[in-house]
Amino acid sequence: MMSIIVRTMTRLVTPAVLIFGLYVIMHGHVTVGGGFQGGAVFASAAALLLAAFGSERIREHLKLPDLTVISCVGALLFAGLAFGGLGKTFFYNFLVGSPLFGHVPEFGPTHEDIWTGGVIAPMNIGVALNVVAGLGAIMLLMALASRNKGDKE
C-alpha cells in the first residue's frame, strides 16, 4: 500500500489506460495493433493497481475462478472460429463476402473501413481475453505468494 499521492494518481490514470487498451484491441485489423499488443496494454493497468494498492485489497475484487473462466472462454472462441471454415480447410476465412465483416477492398491505399477483415476481427477479441486474464492471474498469484510473514492472511 503506497502513499496517498500514488493512490490518487492511480485512480485518475487507470480509466485512460483501459480505454487505450480497448482501442488498440478493436482496431487490430485496420491498422497496427491487435489482440496480443492490446491485451498487454490492458494487463498493465492491472499491474498498476497491484503495485499501488497491494495484493490484499485487489484480491477481493479480482477473484481467481472468474479469471480462469474468462481465459478459457477466450481460448475456446479462438479455436472454435478456426473450426468454422472446415468445409474447405482448417483456418479458412469463411466470412469474406458475407454481410458480417465482409467488405473486400481493392488493391492499393484505401480509406479506413472497420467492416473488413473477415474472421480476423472476432479472433482478435478471443486472443485479447486470453492474454488479459492470463497475465492478470499470473501477476496476482505471484504478488500473493511473495508477501512477508508479518502480514495478515
Q: Choose between 3 and 150: whose C-beta lies nearer to another protein.
A: 150
Contact 142, 55 (CB under 8 A): no
CB of 43 to another protein, least distance (A): 10
Angstrom distance (rounded) from CA 147 to CA 153: 9
Of positions 22, 44, 93, 94, contacts another protein by CB under 8 A: 93
Angstrom distance (rounded) from CA 48 to CA 32: 25
Question: Does residue 106 bind another protein (CB under 8 A)?
Answer: yes
Residue 123, class by beta-carbon neighbours within 10 Å (0-12 exposed, 13-18 middle, 19+ buried)? buried
Q: Which stretch binds another protein (CB under 8 A): 1-9, 11-19, 49-57, 88-96?
A: 88-96
Of positions 22, 48, 82, 125, contacts another protein by CB under 8 A: 82
Query: Per-residue x/- mask for another protein, residues 31 to 70, rule CB under 8 A?
Result: xx-x-xx--------------------------x---x--
Angstrom distance (rounded) from CA 124 to CA 23: 12
